[in-house]
Amino acid sequence: MGRKAADDSVLHKWINALPWHGFFVLTRRLPLASRAEIRRTLCVWQRKGATQRRKKVYIAAPKVRCLPLPHLHPEPRMLDLILTSSNTIGLMAICCMVFGALQRSVRQTALRRAGVGLALGLGTVLAMLEPLQFAPGYQADARGAFVGVAALFGGPIAAWVTITIAGLGRWLIGGAGAPLGMAVIAATGLAVWMWTKLERPTVARNWQAWLALSLMCALPTTLAFFLTPAPTLRLIFFIAALNVSSVLIFGHMMEREQRLRRRERLLSLAAATDELTGLPNRRAFVEYCDALEKDRPKTLALLMMDIDHFKSVNDRYGHAAGDHALRSVGAAISQTLGAEDFAARLGGEEFGIVLRVDSTNAGFKAAERLREACRVSYGPPELKLRTSVSIGGFFFEAGAFNRTEGQKFADRALYQAKASGRDQTVMLEPSKPAAGSMSARYADSFGR
C-alpha cells in the first residue's frame, strides 16, 4: 500500500512538472493500436491567467511509464482545413496564370519549362509555409499536387526545378519530418514523370486518365502518413482529397491552356510556311528580315534565286512536274544551308535566302554550292531532265542590313545573271551600288 502511494505521488509530481502542451502515457500491456488511441486522446488545456491546469490522463494499467511528447498538436479544426484549402486553391490559381503567361510569351522550350518549374516550386514552398501540423516536426499540405503538375506539364526540366526548390524549402523548414517530406516530394515528381513517359496522349486525356494521375500525385503523401506518429484518418482523407481535386481541376485547366497555345503555334506556323516546299513563305521572310534590321547583325548576304525556264516546265510536262521540281529545289535548299541561314519561297519559282557570311567571296561560294545543289530532276525519267537556277546577291557590311535596299540590289544582280545566260551567280559588293554600276559581273573575279 505504501509503495502504491509512493508511485502515485511520483506520478502526480511528474505530471505537474510537464509543460502545459502535453504528455504521453505508454504501458507495456497495451497493443500498438491502443497506444495510438491513447496518444490521440491525451490533451492538455491551459487557461490564460489561471494558475491551475486541466489535464486528462489515461492510466490503463497499474504499472505505467510516462514519456513527454513536446508540441503535441490537437486534431485540425474545420477552420484550419478551410484555410488550408483556400491557400492551396489560391496558389494553384496563380501558378495556372503564370503557366499561361509563359506559354504565350516564351518561345524557347527549355526556358519555358524552367519557368514552369520555378513557379510551381515556389508555390510548393508557400503551401508548406501554411501547413496542418499534426505531430512534432510533421506537417501535411498539398505539395504532391504542385510537384505532380510540374512533372506533368513541364517534363523533366520543370520536375527537377520544382523538386529542388521544394526539397530545399522543406529542409529549411526543418523538423523531424523533413527527410520524409523531402522523400515524398522526390517520389511524387519521379512517379508522375515516369507516367507521362509511358502515357504520351495524342488527344486530350479522358477522366480515367486524369483520375489515375491525380491519385498518383496523392499516393506518396498518403503512404507517408503511415510512417508518421499516429495521424488521424480525417487528416489523411482530407490531404488526399485536396491533392486529388487540385490536380483534377487545375491540371485540366493547364492542359486546356497548353493545347490552345499549341494550336495557335501550329496555325501561326502554317500561316508562315509554304505548303508546297515546306519552306517559310514571303510573310515569314519579311518578318525575319525586319527583325534583322532591328538586331543590326554581323556581315551577311541576301540572295534572290529563280528556277530557269520554269514556265516551260509547267507548259510541257504539266503542273505536277512543276510542283515536283519546286519540292525538290526546296529540299535541296534546306539540306545545303547552314543552321544560321534562312531561306523562303517568295512566290512562283522565286526564292529569297539570307546567308551568314563574312565577305562577298564567302557569299559567292555559298551561293555556288546552292546553285549546284539545285540541279534536280523533273519530268519523264527517260528524258533525264534537270533544273537550273540563277542567283543574284548583295553583301552587307556589319550592322548595315536593310531588306528593301538589299532586295532591290539582289534583284538587279539576278537580272544580270539571267541576261548573261542563266545558270550562274552574280554578287554585288557594297561599293558597286553607290557608284551606280550594276553591270559588273563577278563570276570571273571569283574563279569561275
Q: Are residues 297 and 351 in the same domain?
A: yes
The pLDDT, as a whole number, for residue 147 is 92
Are the C-beta atoms of 124 and 146 separated by less than 8 Å?
yes
- What residue type is assigned to position 298 of the chain? K
Residue 212 has pLDDT above 60, yes or no: yes
Residue 399 has pLDDT above 70, yes or no: no
Under the banding of pLDDT at 50, 70 and 90, the label for residue 305 is: very high
**Distance separating alpha carbons of residues 257 and 100, to the nearest angstrom:** 6
Q: Which of 10, 35, 67 is the last residue of a domain?
A: 67
Q: Are residues 107 and 165 in the same domain?
A: yes
Are the C-beta atoms of 142 and 239 separated by less than 8 Å?
yes
DSSP 61: S
**Distance separating alpha carbons of residues 340 and 177, to the nearest angstrom:** 52
Q: Which of 67, 96, 120 is the last residue of a domain?
A: 67
Are the C-beta atoms of 434 and 405 separated by less than 8 Å?
no
**Distance separating alpha carbons of residues 24 and 43, to the nearest angstrom:** 9
pLDDT, mean of residues 299-322: 87
Under the banding of pLDDT at 50, 70 and 90, the label for residue 354 is: very high
Structural domain includes residue 276: no
pLDDT, mean of residues 325-353: 90
CATH number of residue 316's parent domain: 3.30.70.270
The pLDDT, as a whole number, for residue 105 is 87
DSSP 194: H
Give the structural domain span for 12: 2-67
Structural domain includes residue 72: no
Residue 234 has pLDDT above 50, yes or no: yes
Structural domain includes residue 47: yes
The pLDDT, as a whole number, for residue 445 is 37
Grid cell digits, residue 222:
498518403
Q: Are residues 370 and 225 in the same domain?
A: no
> pLDDT tens digits for 132-186?
888 888 889 999 999 999 988 888 899 999 999 999 999 999 888 899 999 999 9
Q: Which of 17, 36, 67 is the last residue of a domain?
A: 67
Under the banding of pLDDT at 50, 70 and 90, the label for residue 233 is: confident
Grid cell digits, residue 293:
534590321
Residue 49 has pLDDT above 60, yes or no: no
Q: Are residues 179 and 228 in the same domain?
A: yes
- What residue type is assigned to position 42 of the chain? L
Grid cell digits, residue 333:
535548299
Q: Are residues 116 and 146 in the same domain?
A: yes
The pLDDT, as a whole number, for residue 134 is 81
The pLDDT, as a whole number, for residue 113 is 92
The pLDDT, as a whole number, for residue 255 is 87
Q: Residues 212-232, buried b or exposed e (16+ Cβ, 10 A)?
A: ebbebbbbbbbebbeebbbbe
Q: Are residues 107 and 251 in the same domain?
A: yes
Q: Are residues 29 and 154 in the same domain?
A: no
Q: Which residue has the cell 509543460?
A: 19
Are the C-beta atoms of 393 and 364 separated by less than 8 Å?
yes
Q: Are residues 418 and 393 in the same domain?
A: yes
Q: Taking all residues of the chain, what is their mean pLDDT, rounded to a whole number?
A: 78
Under the banding of pLDDT at 50, 70 and 90, the label for residue 115 is: very high
Beta strands in 272-378 (DSSP E): 300-307, 342-347, 350-355, 377-378
What pTM did the predictor assign? Answer: 0.58
Residue 54 has pLDDT above 80, yes or no: no
Angle subtended by helix axes 109-128 and 143-173, to nearest 10: 70
Give Cα 141 to chain centroid, integer Å: 24
Q: Are residues 218 and 306 in the same domain?
A: no
Number of domains the chain contains: 3
Structural domain includes residue 438: yes
- What residue type is assigned to position 76 of the chain? P
Burial class (CB in 10 A: 0-12, 13-18, 19+), 375: middle
The pLDDT, as a whole number, for residue 363 is 87
Residue 90 has pLDDT above 50, yes or no: yes
Number of H helices, E strands in the chain: 14, 13
Residue 94 has pLDDT above 50, yes or no: yes
**Distance separating alpha carbons of residues 178 and 185, to the nearest angstrom:** 11
Are the C-beta atoms of 170 and 178 separated by less than 8 Å?
yes
Structural domain includes residue 241: yes
Under the banding of pLDDT at 50, 70 and 90, the label for residue 440 is: very low
Structural domain includes residue 261: yes
Q: Are residues 181 and 93 in the same domain?
A: yes
Under the banding of pLDDT at 50, 70 and 90, the label for residue 291 is: confident
Nearest in space to 242 (alpha carbons), one of 130, 164, 136, 159: 130
Structural domain includes residue 416: yes
pLDDT, mean of residues 393-399: 79
Q: Are residues 194 and 329 in the same domain?
A: no
Residues 6 or more apart whose CB falls under 8 angstroms from that of 193 comprise 151, 155, 156, 159
Structural domain includes residue 277: no
The pLDDT, as a whole number, for residue 389 is 92
Residues in a beta bridge with 65: 26
The pLDDT, as a whole number, for residue 75 is 67
Q: Are residues 238 and 382 in the same domain?
A: no
Grid cell digits, residue 237:
482523407
**Distance separating alpha carbons of residues 36 and 13, to the nearest angstrom:** 25
